[in-house]
Amino acid sequence: MNFQPLTPELVSAFEQIVGHQHVLTAHGVEAEIYADYGRDHTEDLHFAPDVVLRPANAEEISQIVRLCYEHHIPVTPRGAGTGLSGGALPIHNGVVISTERLNKIIEIDERNLQATVEPGVINQVFQEAVQAKGLFYPPDPASKGSCTLGGNLAHSSGGPKAVKYGTTRDYVLNLQVVLPTGDLIWTAANTLKNSTGYNLTQLMVGSEGTLGIITKVVFRLLPYPQQNILMLVPFRQIEQAAEAVSAVFRAGIIPSGMEFMEREAIAWSSDYLQIPLTLPEDIHAHLLIELDGQDLDELYKEAEQVYDVLGHYDVGEVLLADNATQKDELWRIRRNIGNSVRYNSVYKEEDTVVPRAELPILLKGVKEIGARYGFKSVCYGHAGDGNLHVNIIRGDLNDEQWNVGLRQPISEIFELCVKLGGTISGEHGIGLVQKGYIGIALPEVNLDLMRGIKRVFDPAGILNPGKIF
Ligand code: 2HG
Ligand code: ZN
């Protein structure tokens, strides 16, 4: 990649476009603020951009990208920097384009149950805005309070509700995108159905900021489910918690949340949040199960069926959260596991995913590989999707063990996923840190097709270079 250095003429051209106060360089703002634009939530990695630009709208982004295309300057698009595979890291320095100022909810169309939104809107802000109108936008990443919709689109982010409602890609009707040449396009129409040529919308969703910068999105919405039941189920044997997951679905229940947490995950998070939680010695894992809908009586009947299924396992006393405060507390504990692990240690996040009923074999395999190679892991995640987050804890591993020694065991974990019919990332994407493993999941012919698509969209190879492949 023959990138050119940034010149003072280009920096002043950027100032003409976004205004002086929205051009940040290492010398302009406090070092810590500037440094933040060079990291995301991936391990403790940092890459310094040459300049950070904070455009106000799609037209400004289009002008910036056109200049970078003409002058071979690498561009890294950025939402809130909560990504977990290094997607927002400017690994070739150059320009970081932050979408933080594209933070408007343009329209909530109650007639069509659609909304037009800018990418810099925080996920939870959008969820609450539509909920105020009785509408529902289900995708709810653990980081929903800080992550942006643009980043959710870049990875087709999931979250606990994905098990019943699907992920971000299932709600996208249309996208306005700045292509790596600077051209501005809409990918489709604002329709629930579309069979007009290749699906550029779905190609863009999950492309991790490598095929275009999303500047507007039209989402479809659902009516808000007014009722929900939440239960925390303790298991004496960790494998049985994983087995019970698919048993609930086989009983005909589709929960709106089916989260697995091994003992340390729930213990570290409740400590981190200072939320007291009694954990009997003999309890080694929990399932957090949510049922939602419009009719509470129906939900209690479903809960009875779940209890019947759980009766076949060695479970402790089930906690049925019977008020909003208790529900919020249990969800806060689940949503902060990642933060609590980050607080305790640098970690490598392996976002493994397999067919749901294979989870017990995956879990057992991960622990066996950990024992064989001498690393500790804290496992939790969206068990209903067969998606297990394996947090490998750095602890006292030295640089050699951390950066080289772990490659083999991580490869074995991914090989096990693929053998079970799964793959190497369910929601966090490939970005920078999983690049070296993508060949375990995809043959060269598939990767060549993807490289060809990248060349068509980004002939100069300037957009988020060095990611995925
Ligand atoms: C979750 O499900 C996130 O909690 C991972 O996908 C969170 O590692 C994290 O920060
Ligand atoms: Zn997750």
What does the DSSP assignment read for 282-321? T--EEEEEEEEES-HHHHHHHHHHHHHHHTTS-B---EEE
pLDDT of 303 strictly over 80: yes
**Model confidence at 305, in pLDDT bands (50, 70, 90)?**
very high
pLDDT digits (tens, 9 = 90+) for 357-374: 999 999 999 999 999 999
pLDDT of 296 strictly over 80: yes
- pLDDT at res. 32: 85
Positions of CATH 3.30.465.10 in the chain: 105-223
Contact 25, 11 (CB under 8 A): yes
What's this model's pTM, rounded to 2 decimal places? 0.97
pLDDT of 118 strictly over 90: yes
- pLDDT at res. 322: 86
Q: At 200, list the tokens.
A: 């550029």
pLDDT of 28 strictly over 80: no
Could you say which ligand is closest to the alpha carbon of residue 144? 1
Query: What spacing in Å lies between the alpha carbon of 264 and ligand 1's midpoint?
Result: 15
* Cα 448 from chain centroid (whole Å): 25
Per DSSP, the three-state class of 51 is strand
Contact 24, 54 (CB under 8 A): yes
Query: What spacing in Å lies between the alpha carbon of 21 and ligand 2's midpoint?
Result: 36
Query: What spacing in Å lies between the alpha carbon of 231 and ligand 1's midpoint?
Result: 20
- pLDDT at res. 203: 98
User: Mean pLDDT over residues 28-34, rounded?
Assistant: 82
Could you say which ligand is closest to the alpha carbon of residue 43? 1
- pLDDT at res. 124: 98
For the chain, percent of residues with pLDDT exceeding 70: 100
77: enclosing H helix or E strand: strand 75-78
Let me know how many helices (H) and strands (E) the chain has, helices first. Answer: 17, 18
Pocket test for ligand 1, best of 157, 378, 389 (most atoms within 8 A of CB): 389
- pLDDT at res. 453: 98
- pLDDT at res. 436: 97
Pocket test for ligand 1, best of 41, 84, 346 (most atoms within 8 A of CB): 84
Query: What spacing in Å lies between the alpha carbon of 196 and ligand 2's midpoint?
Result: 33
User: Mean pLDDT over residues 80-88, rounded?
Assistant: 97
**Model confidence at 456, in pLDDT bands (50, 70, 90)?**
very high
User: How is domain 345-450 classified at the CATH fold level?
Assistant: Alpha-Beta Plaits (3.30.70)
Cβ atoms < 10 Å from Cβ of 1: 10
CA nearest ligand 1 atom 8, residue: 338
Query: What spacing in Å lies between the alpha carbon of 162 and ligand 2's midpoint?
Result: 10
Positions of CATH 3.30.43.10 in the chain: 8-101
User: Mean pLDDT over residues 127-142, rounded?
Assistant: 98
Q: How far is CA 353 from CA 361, 362, 380, 384, 429, in A?
A: 12, 9, 12, 10, 12
Which one is the CATH code of 105-223: 2.40.30.270, 3.60.20.10, 3.30.465.10, 3.30.450.20? 3.30.465.10
152: enclosing H helix or E strand: helix 149-155
CA angle 140, 346, 241 (to 5 degrees): 55
Query: What spacing in Å lies between the alpha carbon of 433 and ligand 1's midpoint?
Result: 16
- pLDDT at res. 30: 79
CA nearest ligand 1 atom 3, residue: 142
Side chain identity at residue 149, one-letter code: L
- pLDDT at res. 463: 98
Task: Please give the sequence-ordered ranges of beta strands (E in DSSP) within 250-386, or none if there are none.
Answer: 257-262, 285-293, 319-321, 347-353, 376-381
Pocket test for ligand 1, best of 40, 155, 337, 391 (most atoms within 8 A of CB): 337
Within 6 A (CB) of ligand 1 lie 41, 84, 142, 337-338, 349, 381, 389
User: Mean pLDDT over residues 133-146, rounded?
Assistant: 97
- pLDDT at res. 29: 77
**Mean predicted lDDT score pLDDT of the chain:** 97
- pLDDT at res. 197: 98
CA nearest ligand 1 atom 5, residue: 338
pLDDT digits (tens, 9 = 90+) for 378-388: 999 999 999 99
Ligand 1 atom at minimum distance from 342 CA: 10
Positions of CATH 3.30.70.2740 in the chain: 345-450
Domain 8-101 has CATH 3.30.70.60: no
User: Mean pLDDT over residues 142-157, rounded?
Assistant: 97
- pLDDT at res. 64: 98
pLDDT digits (tens, 9 = 90+) for 240-262: 999 999 999 999 999 999 999 99
What's 227-338's CATH class?
A: alpha beta
CA nearest ligand 1 atom 6, residue: 142
Positions of CATH 3.30.70.2190 in the chain: 227-338
Ligand 1 atom at minimum distance from 334 CA: 4
Q: Is the dihedral of CA 208, 81, 275, 389 positive or negative?
A: positive
- pLDDT at res. 31: 81
**Model confidence at 148, in pLDDT bands (50, 70, 90)?**
very high
pLDDT of 265 strictly over 90: yes
